[in-house]
Structure 1
């Protein structure tokens, strides 16, 4: 794993310029993904919002353009739960290279019943993990064409509290929605670390970085009408939580730094500074299940089998 020493000072309000670069943000039309896209657009880069709903994507695009003068923002339809559609989504980018993809989109179900995609995969595992894994495979040639393409995986601190059952990856037994979500994020993060190890072994120039946003609340999130509307009452209700948590604008900072900071290295984990739940983005140690390379390698093989695609084969 990468060293914990020496990243340069980083100002979340004064990001480096990135004119001429192309970034794809999955789920960039709402939540944390929206703020990742807005902040990256402020660097002069071209930002592509990957999401299913064209109307919501257009609302997010208009909001970003209203706040960022001259923003270069567009949309590509992306449904991570539909594995058969992802190649067409990658082709629809129409780019000759992709400097970074932020794998941010996710589904969190609060209660049963267990839901499946039309491919027969559990919905959260399919969207959060399988879809991003396959998408990276289809994007691999574009990432390889960039001088130093980056895959940035947005995980969750809840992943640190669960374990992965390779014999029941899709929670067919004893389905509990919140646990299934955390397991899907653990799988996603493990795959992000394993991707970097395999990229290094293959001699690829691209790198893979894992981040997590900490604790983010809507009530602490700045308004971005019509994408995000916040009432005065909601803002007041969120004030006590602001001592421990943060809004989604700040929760976007680790992913934005992972995309832009030249000191970031593959295989690193970035998250909020204060207890891992709020504050500016800093480098974190990779511990526990996240550091289990044998588990990650076995997960990779299982995921390649489920998706019918091994991303590394396409980086060559």
Structure 2
């Protein structure tokens, strides 16, 4: 669809139909990922919730079905902190193609000590970035089998002020949880941008889009028991913050638009409209440091060495 074509304004509450399409949302059982799954389910697509805990995914699906009549949902066990498990997780999808994956799952630690995945990687960098990097490699045949699939990487506004240190990508020398989290999400965003460069270079039908949710707080998020319960006190106490930030249901909007809007293009960055913190989704200029193609390429090489995976498509 041409960017100059006449289309209706994007409406976050009236999403286009996507019958027959299949979407995977990592971490779809809670937080922003839950609301991405709930919103995508309203389109008629089959939505697969990837989760380490299948029981939690089942509870999330029950919650979605209570709100979305006829929702087409599935769950797969997906542990991004265990790279050896990813091949089997992708095989368990049992689909001929995948129209989009939303790389949403993540770990955020507030306090030391430093933790590691079963593969020996710092747990935030290993899950948020390396896990999705390797997962994409296993998913690429399914994505390539779809007419125009999308890889949507969920970054974070916290990454805007961070910079990668490829001399110490796993924070072995200087571990500070909040900084390590921000850098892990920044690595995920670099990956999304670099992946699209590589996809374009070989003329792939798959595209890669980067999004971030702005400021998304539990206290501004509507209840979805048992997934999330917001008390009256929390709602009233968070009211002033609603002038600057938003709930996780609204934080899902950029990712949902990146999956569904035919006018979204690979290599773009989408986030909330108001100062990048709240509001309906819009395209943002790519952050200056995300434009560093040399650093993105070196991160790709480092990630390949650490995981043994190569998400790049085969040249046709």
- Relative to the length of structure 2, the TM-score reads 0.97
C-alpha contact (below 8 Å) 2:202/2:313 kept by paired residues: no
- SS class of match (1:312): coil
CA distance in 2, matches of 1:314, 1:29: 32
Instruction: Name the residue aligned to 1:193.
Output: 193
**Where in structure 2 are there 5+ consecutive unaligned residues?**
none
- Cα–Cα, structure 1 residues 72 and 315, in superposed 2: closer, same or farther, change >3 Å? farther
C-alpha contact (below 8 Å) 1:24/1:100 kept by paired residues: yes
CA distance in 1, matches of 2:162, 2:33: 24
C-alpha contact (below 8 Å) 2:128/2:184 kept by paired residues: yes
Instruction: Name the residue aligned to 2:13.
Output: 13
Instruction: Name the residue aligned to 2:156.
Output: 156
CA distance in 1, matches of 2:204, 2:243: 43
Instruction: Name the residue aligned to 1:46.
Output: 46
Q: Deviations over 1:123-148 (max 9, x none)?
A: 00000000000000000000000000
Instruction: Name the residue aligned to 1:208.
Output: 208
Instruction: Name the residue aligned to 2:223.
Output: 223
CA distance in 2, matches of 1:299, 1:67: 41
- SS class of match (1:311): coil
CA distance in 2, matches of 1:294, 1:5: 33
Q: Deviations over 1:172-224 (max 9, x none)?
A: 01100000000000100001000000000011100000000000111100111
- SS class of match (1:239): helix
- SS class of match (1:79): coil
Instruction: Name the residue aligned to 2:236.
Output: 236
- Cα–Cα, structure 1 residues 315 and 134, in superposed 2: closer, same or farther, change >3 Å? farther
Q: Please state how far the C-alpha of 1:29 moved relative to its aligned partner.
A: 0.2
Matching of residues 1-316 of structure 1 within 5 Å: 9-313=9-313
Q: Please state how far the C-alpha of 1:287 moved relative to its aligned partner.
A: 2.4
- Cα–Cα, structure 1 residues 220 and 296, in superposed 2: closer, same or farther, change >3 Å? same
Q: How many residue pairs align between the two structures?
A: 314
- Cα–Cα, structure 1 residues 250 and 71, in superposed 2: closer, same or farther, change >3 Å? same
CA distance in 2, matches of 1:183, 1:289: 12
- SS class of match (2:69): coil
**Where in structure 1 are there 5+ consecutive unaligned residues?**
none
C-alpha contact (below 8 Å) 1:7/1:264 kept by paired residues: no
Identify which range, 88-97 or 4-13, moves more after superposition. Answer: 4-13
CA distance in 1, matches of 2:130, 2:98: 21
Q: Please state how far the C-alpha of 1:288 moved relative to its aligned partner.
A: 1.9
C-alpha contact (below 8 Å) 1:100/1:149 kept by paired residues: yes
- Cα–Cα, structure 1 residues 118 and 314, in superposed 2: closer, same or farther, change >3 Å? farther
- SS class of match (2:66): helix
Q: Deviations over 1:66-122 (max 9, x none)?
A: 100000011000000000000110000000000000000000000001001121100
Root-mean-square deviation (Å):
1.5
